[in-house]
Structure 1
């Protein structure tokens, strides 16, 4: 997933850490763990959505409120988080993000007995902490070492973020879904009201232990981060604030913002519906616990694809690579819609492989030749991550209306725009060379 929240100002990073590389290793390990943790926490939603849907007998639209609350926090909290960090500093900001995320995880404990609404609030608080953490922690990747090797460090931390998204579904399946014995909705409704409440509290309680453990880990990381000797990052607001009209006058940026919105929405939407899709009798008929292992394949494909893309894109233009990957994603989604059994299962899982390069490629293409507007434009692109809140909600409406299989036309439509953006940029790139 690897969403990077960028600030809208330039920064300089005086190296306050002693010059030897071994003294930077400890702080770099801590920062890398942060990347792993927010990947893990984000991807765990794919396990919790079908679980909470079964426990509370929710419609698909109601279940997608999880992603609506989670990714809505990116849109709502990003700017306040940036203001907070300017006031208290990057290191204190990262600690604050960890503490807020820990509070969100701790809220899962009372939510198990209070109902779905408190779960949604817990998701929002958790995502608010992750958003604050990302805004604060990303600059340290470039600060901890030689500026000439900053890109390699960023690649390493992003790889661990992808590792978190890959292991989370399997881990969640083992800790949350394996002990759950969810009844069918029609059987739940046959129970007396008191037994329904008892059943829902018992099934919802399976999340308490894992999320309390995550809260403890986040608090431990907060202590370690507070104690670490990290470089002091100083802001310089040299660039004048960019007006919205000036930013929107750049076609590449507008198309890129739409692309980020639709890419994040499509990727998150597919992941959110995977367990239900793989559990369909016409596809694989898997139990939620078994299906969770295959969700790891979806996110793991994205991790593998990043390494493949890194090599391929040294010879292929970004626009062509993006269009190729989007075209393949569309083809596999349509295959999943119009087929059944293992063909449908592996087709939808294969989309993860082609998601791999999309976010960084769209991001860099959108910022092409923006000059001193780059920092401000980055903020616009990061706010477009709110697509992860809205597109799954739209697919939920479609799933309730026309069925789960046909609802995947929603992410297919998202990738269609990305395919167009890739071709348009490839044409501009070729014209520039000519």
Structure 2
């Protein structure tokens, strides 16, 4: 590998400075991929109107994005192992930037299929980043505190999510959004102008993201990280053959991550639809509440990182998952405006789940950590599988509230995994 942060003596201030700078650059990736992933809850209702889709069709936006993680994760892991972290990260940043820039011609063509292709390419680049950054953070120190370090880095992912929902979303969804009854009163020319405006609003956020991704790629390219020679030597060591069935903890972790990502994507992606149809909010106002949700997610990461210093990772994961089961029961069976606060709670208690499941699953795998990380990233396909199920159930039942039983069920295996980790620790 070409990028590393190592413990060095205090006297070697310059190498230490380089190590800290490298660590900061890697942590910044957690912020960046959150910008794209957390624009999806805004993009779904927006393209649903612009492309005149039903809920099931709009859920394909999630599927196009998250299925890339399943397809690209292993190739990304191979690139990371063969060429090192630095080159894998640069590849991911440039690939993601290309996908972001494709949103401009997609909006010009008004083609939903074009948007799905752009999303897939964008997510393919993000897959490189997640495959590289997550295992890198876990091996920076004591394996027993890997969950704490990963939660710390993932806290910046929460910050990116908050920025996307509170600020970038406003560039996409304006106050001029019209209801179906208002659209029926427009002339054909005015209606075409309205849809043209909807497509136009998609361009700027993704152009901005593309430019930032290219700039960060240039920073990685021109930066010489400390101990590059040592990193490359370590990655050249052969790994033992990894048979998932012979690693029950990894196997259970992959399944659990599959359900977790499905739950996370469903909860946030359809929140605006839930808030406007069940809780009675206007779409523009719902984006503010989505920002509140993701603020809770970000704060949950910081609180979780602190609690993990005193509470076992498995125990905290089990407790948080049980709380989310109860909150989801309220969302599905009670609803109303009070359900908005239940959503905030769900996001808060979801915050530690991905990094905690990730770090517990790849713990003590040694040189097999990169390939195990690829398998864990492949589990993100849950974000492509469960949203269409929720969309189909919503279309069939006529109730987005009822359809939220899908993420409710997803939290049950997460609870079991946390309980199982408690038993392993004991």
Which TM-score bucket, shorter chain as reference?
0.7 to 0.9
Q: State the shift of 1:287 in Å.
A: 2.0
**From 26, 41, 46, the counterpart of 1:46:** 41
**From 244, 256, 261, the counterpart of 1:247:** 244
**From 354, 361, 364, the counterpart of 2:349:** 354
2:375 and 2:332 map into 1 onto residues whose CA distance is 33
Aligned 1:185-196 pairs, distance under 5 A: none
TM-score (norm 2): 0.86
C-alpha change, 1:94 and 1:429, in structure 2 (3 Å) is closer
1:421 and 1:29 map into 2 onto residues whose CA distance is 32
**From 219, 222, 228, the counterpart of 2:217:** 222
2:31 paired with 1:33:
no
Which stretch of structure 1 is more off in the superposition, 393-402 or 19-28? 19-28
Q: Deviations over 1:253-274 (max 9, x none)?
A: 3322111000011011110011
Residue segments in structure 1 that go unaligned for 5+ positions in a row: 1-8
CA contact (8 A) 1:106 1:212 kept: yes
2:212 and 2:367 map into 1 onto residues whose CA distance is 40
CA contact (8 A) 2:131 2:373 kept: no
2:214 and 2:373 map into 1 onto residues whose CA distance is 30
1:121 matched to which residue of 2?
Answer: 117
1:136 and 1:256 map into 2 onto residues whose CA distance is 18
2:423 paired with 1:420:
no
CA contact (8 A) 2:55 2:391 kept: yes
1:29 and 1:134 map into 2 onto residues whose CA distance is 15
C-alpha change, 1:370 and 1:95, in structure 2 (3 Å) is closer
1:23 and 1:372 map into 2 onto residues whose CA distance is 25
Q: State the shift of 1:354 in Å.
A: 0.9
**From 410, 418, 427, the counterpart of 2:406:** 410
Q: State the shift of 1:279 in Å.
A: 1.1
Q: State the shift of 1:362 in Å.
A: 2.2
C-alpha change, 1:404 and 1:381, in structure 2 (3 Å) is same
CA contact (8 A) 1:278 1:345 kept: yes
1:338 matched to which residue of 2?
Answer: 333
Which stretch of structure 1 is more off in the superposition, 202-211 or 340-349? 340-349
1:76 partner SS: helix
2:177 matched to which residue of 1?
Answer: 181
2:393 matched to which residue of 1?
Answer: 398
1:278 and 1:206 map into 2 onto residues whose CA distance is 22
The count of aligned residue pairs is 414
**From 124, 130, 137, the counterpart of 1:134:** 130
**From 246, 258, 263, the counterpart of 2:255:** 258
CA contact (8 A) 1:54 1:183 kept: no
CA contact (8 A) 2:152 2:305 kept: no
2:255 partner SS: helix
**From 99, 120, 129, the counterpart of 1:104:** 99
1:3 matched to which residue of 2?
Answer: none
2:237 matched to which residue of 1?
Answer: 237
2:168 paired with 1:172:
yes
1:279 matched to which residue of 2?
Answer: 276
Which stretch of structure 1 is more off in the superposition, 116-125 or 151-160? 151-160
2:14 partner SS: coil
Which stretch of structure 1 is more off in the superposition, 127-136 or 269-278? 127-136
1:317 matched to which residue of 2?
Answer: 312
Q: State the shift of 1:385 in Å.
A: 1.2
Q: State the shift of 1:366 in Å.
A: 3.1
1:15 and 1:330 map into 2 onto residues whose CA distance is 41
1:100 and 1:364 map into 2 onto residues whose CA distance is 26
Q: State the shift of 1:78 in Å.
A: 1.3
CA contact (8 A) 1:399 1:407 kept: yes
Which stretch of structure 1 is more off in the superposition, 325-334 or 290-299? 290-299
Q: State the shift of 1:168 in Å.
A: 0.9
